[in-house]
Structure 1
Amino acid sequence: MGEQEAKYERLRALHAREGAFVIPNAWDAGSARLLSGLGFEALATTSAGYAFSKGKRDSFAALSRAEILANAGEIVAATGLPVSADLEDGFGEAPEDCAETIHAAARFGLVGGSIEDATGDPSDPIYDMGLAVARVEAAAEAARGLPFLLTARAENFLWERPDLDDTIARLQAFSEAGADVLYAPGLPDIAAIRTVCAAVDKPVNVVMGLTGPRYSVAELAEAGVKRVSVGGSFARAALGGLMRAAEEVRTQGTFDYAEDALPGAVISAAMDQGRAGDRR
């Protein structure tokens, strides 16, 4: 068994065991190295966190498939953990676009990834059911035979369409189309999360650290959740630390923020110790 296949099997096994596990979202190679040293068993990527690091908004128009996958490839190279990627809408409307994204993701060493049903168009934010299912079906067919765990996302609640029945119907259809993991970000409360978990036959991912209620891993596991991600919230927490430190220096002229800064020795120990080649 090759390295990529072994990582896939580790990721798949996490979804099969009892309880819930946390899959934190790294936004670059450095954050991936730090998270890898903390005992997590797998990592995800975040298009939002990566977009912020490039000075861009998190939107469909801001980042290309090539950029997202190049960043994900750097994260894969920085860690020995399995990595599942945020693949946004599959980088195209057509089912064939989603299939090509899955093939490309696997070539970068990713062993999982998500396809969502949001269009990026505020006037028509969610793909109709038929096309949404066809896109997941194409992605699942592309993943068949590859060491790749497909997550399908129903985005209603992120786009002011709080229709739980439609969200569940979509997740059920995505499961039937071949998705391995189901994900409906933005569910309003633990009751809705419990309802979703009871209504589907595949592992459910829930995101914490964004807006709305926050529940512990234990509470989510009790509700039936299998996987807990954090989206771009770790990246936003890091940027929050930067802003607080900068505001302290600007407004007070003091440097007390340094007391909470991660020691350089800790960071250095987590980073690549290799040397560059010809640096000219």
Structure 2
Amino acid sequence: MHASGLPPLSKAQHFKALHHNGAPLLLPNAWDAGSAALFAGLGFPAIATTSGGVAWSLGYADGEALPLAELLAAVRRMVRVVDVPVTVDFEAGFGATPQQVGESVRTLLDTGAVGLNLEDGIAHTTLRPVEEAAQRIAAARQAADAMGIPAFINARVDNWIVGGADPQALFDDAVRRAHAYLAAGADGIYPIALGDPAVIERFCAAVDAPVNMGARAGLPNLATLQQLGVARVSTATRLAMVAYSAARQTAQTLRETGEFSGLDASLGYDALQRLFPTH
């Protein structure tokens, strides 16, 4: 099924269904309209965004330093150039209170996006109290429901970023948080930075909802993750970092050698032009 031309309600329903197809939903994370169009053109059934990549492309550091208005403008451009559903890394929700998170989510869904990530970590150093994090998810759910859009809320569990001395206590708290977030209205759970296959399998078995893994070098491949119970895999900042790394290396070689051979791109001007409308 292709989401081309569908209204937000149907796109949201389609996106949610993609999490229950029997195989993991593989999402590339775009950082601008160009990368979104590029990935959609490869046949991915949906596009995610990377908060880091979007922020860097607009001249900001990651971590909600990017003004909400600039994020919303970037998302509108992505939605405009792709027909598939777009889900947005919405960081901590762009609001100090649950009510403010709900208001921000309404503005996000006005762009045509049909999914969002909400994280429970604060500056990658601490975790919000679980009750407070759940209230923010509930506010997001209420905002989406009020708009009549069944947006897929992917609740990020940051335990493996923040860490802890006791692996079992860390795991138990992550599962407790996952259950609380699902009860508050989340549709999926994202234990970011979890990479141990045995722990991934235990976590998926303990959480009765689609579980998202963040792809990176060294993670088991997609077929293995499916066997472990994973329902969704996204690339987070990785594709943006690969793109920036390639551009930096090429520019550095150009500066150091004065040779232009590195500027022979595998994707040419005409191919890129075809990704976009000309009017």
TM-score normalised according to structure 2 size:
0.91
* Correspondence 1:99-110 to 2 at 5 A: 99-110=102-113
CA distance in 2, matches of 1:28, 1:68: 10
245, 249, 259: which one aligns with 2:250: 245
Aligned partner letter, 1:90 = G
Name the structure 1 match of 2:171: 164
56, 63, 70: which one aligns with 2:73: 70
CA distance in 1, matches of 2:195, 2:225: 13
Aligned partner letter, 2:171 = L
Give how far 1:59 is off.
Answer: 1.8
Give how far 1:121 is off.
Answer: 7.3
Give how far 1:205 is off.
Answer: 0.9
Aligned partner letter, 1:242 = A
Establish whether residue 177 from structure 1 lines up as the match of residue 188 from structure 2: no
CA distance in 1, matches of 2:262, 2:215: 26
Give how far 1:213 is off.
Answer: 2.9
Give how far 1:76 is off.
Answer: 0.7
Name the structure 1 match of 2:274: 269
* Correspondence 1:12-23 to 2 at 5 A: 12-23=16-27
Give CA deviations for 1:228-265 in whole Å, capped at 9, x if unaligned. Answer: 10011111111011011011112222223234442112
Establish whether residue 217 from structure 1 lines up as the match of residue 218 from structure 2: no
CA distance in 2, matches of 1:272, 1:49: 24
* Correspondence 1:97-136 to 2 at 5 A: 97-120=100-123, 122=125, 125-136=126-137
Q: Percent identity?
A: 36
Give how far 1:58 is off.
Answer: 0.9
Does structure 2 conserve the Cα–Cα contact (< 8 Å) formed by 1:114 and 1:152?
yes
Name the structure 2 match of 1:191: 198
Give how far 1:9 is off.
Answer: 1.8
Aligned partner letter, 1:164 = F
Does structure 2 conserve the Cα–Cα contact (< 8 Å) formed by 1:249 and 1:255?
yes
RMSD: 1.7
CA distance in 1, matches of 2:6, 2:150: 10
Aligned partner letter, 2:140 = A
Name the structure 2 match of 1:278: none
CA distance in 1, matches of 2:82, 2:265: 26
CA distance in 1, matches of 2:115, 2:8: 11
CA distance in 2, matches of 1:49, 1:68: 11
* Correspondence 1:27-106 to 2 at 5 A: 27-60=31-64, 62-106=65-109
CA distance in 2, matches of 1:24, 1:10: 17
CA distance in 1, matches of 2:223, 2:33: 29
Secondary structure of the residue aligned to 2:189 is strand
Secondary structure of the residue aligned to 1:270 is coil
Aligned partner letter, 1:160 = G
Give CA deviations for 1:108-145 in whole Å, capped at 9, x if unaligned. Answer: 111111111122374xx210111111111222222223
CA distance in 2, matches of 1:178, 1:77: 28
Name the structure 2 match of 1:277: none
Aligned partner letter, 2:12 = Y
Question: Which region of structure 1 is more displaced relative to structure 2, 113-122 or 88-97?
Answer: 113-122
Give CA deviations for 1:164-184 in whole Å, capped at 9, x if unaligned. Answer: 221111111111111011111
Flag the 1:267–1:2 CA change in 2: closer, same or farther, 3 A: closer
Give CA deviations for 1:84-124 in whole Å, capped at 9, x if unaligned. Answer: 111110012311122112211111111111111122374xx
Aligned partner letter, 2:152 = L
Secondary structure of the residue aligned to 2:242 is helix
CA distance in 2, matches of 1:257, 1:225: 39
Does structure 2 conserve the Cα–Cα contact (< 8 Å) formed by 1:140 and 1:178?
yes
Give how far 1:2 is off.
Answer: 5.8
TM-score normalised according to structure 1 size:
0.91
Does structure 2 conserve the Cα–Cα contact (< 8 Å) formed by 1:72 and 1:110?
yes
CA distance in 1, matches of 2:122, 2:94: 10
Q: How many residues align?
A: 269
197, 208, 214: which one aligns with 1:201: 208
Does structure 2 conserve the Cα–Cα contact (< 8 Å) formed by 1:4 and 1:147?
no
Does structure 1 conserve the Cα–Cα contact (< 8 Å) formed by 2:214 and 2:234?
yes
Q: Which consecutive segments of 4 or more residues in structure 1 shift more than 6 A?
A: none
